[in-house]
Chains A and B, each alone.
Chain A
Amino acid sequence: MTETTDTLKIAIRDVHKSFGSNHVLRGIDLDVSAGRSMVVIGGSGTGKSVLLKCILGLITPDSGSICIDGQPVTHLSARKRARIMAKFGMLFQGGALFDSLSVWENVAFRLLYADGMGRVEAKKQAIAALNQVNLGAEIINLSPAELSGGMQKRVGLARAIVARPEILFFDEPTTGLDPITADVIDNLIRRQVTALGATAVSITHDMGSVRKIADDVAMIHEGKIIWRGLAKDVDNSGNAYVEQFVTGSENGPIKVLAR
């Protein structure tokens, strides 16, 4: 049965975005069903991060529509935007932890400052979220700068899940990590998405991550979605662009020097 935009968790229709003369998104159409983990793959500079920021409302598209739970979200007031954000959890590429706050305050940030929860209860929930990403209470009073890259990612993941969001976003979750730590992060993401029953949207160019965390895969190239399908089909897509990306071959329709 085909889902309508009213029943989809995220529905993106003909989204365009330019920065000056650089036309980054050129008519993106993408649907994400509730409870599914969608991974958007694509090379550097193809518009993955811009697409993610458009969905999050951090960038306003020039045209097109983005609906969350059937509600258009592209031109909301700050207050309505904040309410929509309450559904979201986001893991940034570099962690984006607040330098001036301790680890537990970072994790509990939404509870403390947006939900108005007391510090004692917020700290308890932060510790519980840190436990879910295999981090112990011994790090809660450290500053983010005292953590390794992998630990920062895990703290970022704990911050994303602490308020039990309906939709989780992951921006290049394994970039800059060694393969073992990357695998740990992938497993944690998969486990937490499943445990929360959340919808997930990730962007990555790490095929290891794709195989671990994706239910569905879409490939973006030159600002358009050129293929989408099930994660199990990504190795047999029949699409020359996807095949080149999956194999990492220099030869194919994607011209590296041209990008």
Chain B
Amino acid sequence: MNPLAIIGHAVLTLVREAGAIGLFAWRGVSAILSPPWYGSQLSAQLMRIGYFSLPVVGLTAVFTGAALALNIYTGGARFNAEQFVPNIVVLGITRELGPVLASLMLAGRVSAAMAAEIGAMRVTEQIDALETLSTDPFRFLVGPRILAAIITVPLLVLVADIIGVLGGWAVSTQILGFNGATYIRNTIDFVTRWDVVSGLIKAATFGFIIALMGCYHGYRSKRGAQGVGRATTNAVVSAAILIFAANYVLTTLFV
């Protein structure tokens, strides 16, 4: 095949897919903004995405904070700058690692679950059934998931920030010989409100991406178990890539 044709086909596919995702996102956001709203669906998703993801996010944050403290201590020792461990841990956790790592874990947990559930509904005609029952699938399925993710992911990242800093504190005080009270004081004195808020803005954006990719790939799932499996994989991979890309763009805006 002509290499130019291959490149052209890939570009067209990319543009078509981007357009389809854009239209899907527009319909999803429209479903959030106009009635009817399904409160029971929203509360169910708030529990699933938020409450039930707490253990995963908490464990990710505590180990990340602990490992970060060890690495910064090792690196800082080369410049006699070990005392900056609390400052750099809190900066790294709130601005970067908290939102990104928590969201990546949620992409694996939440995007996959959404794609699998909606994909299974697609192939068993449950989404068609919703339409025949005078219920818009975007308002019933997509809107509540996107809104729940936008609300809960920042809350989860806030928890991850706190637990991540505590992970760094635990390692610093138990292994590296830091004074606990001094560590906490240095952390509080150094961190700014914008460090936390910028991370939460990132988290809300990542929440939107996580839910959008889960719903989009599930909704377009092809027939059969293989189709649902592919939708699940695509949801996780595309959510992860878009999180990294969005993180770069937002970091560029926030620095």
Which positions in A face B, CB cutoff 8 Å?
53, 56-58, 78, 81-83, 85-86, 88-90, 92-94, 96-99, 109-110, 113-114, 159, 169
Contacts and interface: CB of A to CB of B under 8 A. Distances in A.
Given A113-B38, A113-B140, A92 B133 contact: no
Max chain B Cβ within 10 angstroms of own Cβ: one of A90, A92, A96, A114:
A96
Contact of B124 (A89, A90, A94, A114): A94
B132 A88 contact: yes
Interface string B126-159: 1011011111100010000000000000000000
Interface string B23-61: 000000000000000100000000000000000000000
Contacts of B133: 85, 109-110, 113-114, 159
Interface of B: 38, 120-121, 124-126, 128-129, 131-136, 140
B38 A92 contact: no
B129 A114 contact: no
B124 A96 contact: yes
A162 to B, nearest CB: 10
B125 A113 contact: no
Contacts of A99: 120-121, 126
B134 A85 contact: yes
12 contacts: A57-B131, A58-B128, A58-B131, A82-B134, A82-B136, A92-B128, A94-B124, A96-B126, A96-B128, A97-B126, A99-B120, A109-B133
A45 B125 CA distance: 18
A189 B157 CA distance: 54
B132 A94 contact: no
Contacts of A78: 136
B140 A92 contact: no
Nearest to A94: B124
A109 B124 contact: no
A94 B125 contact: yes
Contacts of B136: 78, 82
The 3 tightest CB contacts between A and B, nearest first, are A114-B134, A96-B129, A96-B125
A93 B133 CA distance: 16
Contacts of B140: 113
Given A85-B131, A94-B125, A96-B128, 5 more contacts: A58-B128, A90-B129, A110-B134, A113-B135, A159-B133
Contact of A98 (B126, B131, B132): B126
B29 to A, nearest CB: 15
A226 to B, nearest CB: 27
Given A82-B134, A109-B135, A98 B128 contact: no
Contact of A92 (B120, B129, B134, B135): B129
Contacts of A92: 125, 128-129
Contacts of A98: 121, 126, 129
Contacts of A85: 131-134
A224 to B, nearest CB: 24
Nearest to A90: B132
Contacts of A90: 129, 132
A83 B132 CA distance: 10
Contacts of B129: 90, 92, 96-98
B114 to A, nearest CB: 13
B62 to A, nearest CB: 33
A169 B120 CA distance: 23
B125 A93 contact: yes
A89 B132 CA distance: 7
Most buried by A among B38, B124, B133: B133
Contacts of A94: 124-125
A98 B137 CA distance: 13
Contacts of A57: 131
A170 B136 CA distance: 21
Contacts of B126: 96-99
A114 B137 CA distance: 12
Nearest to A87: B134
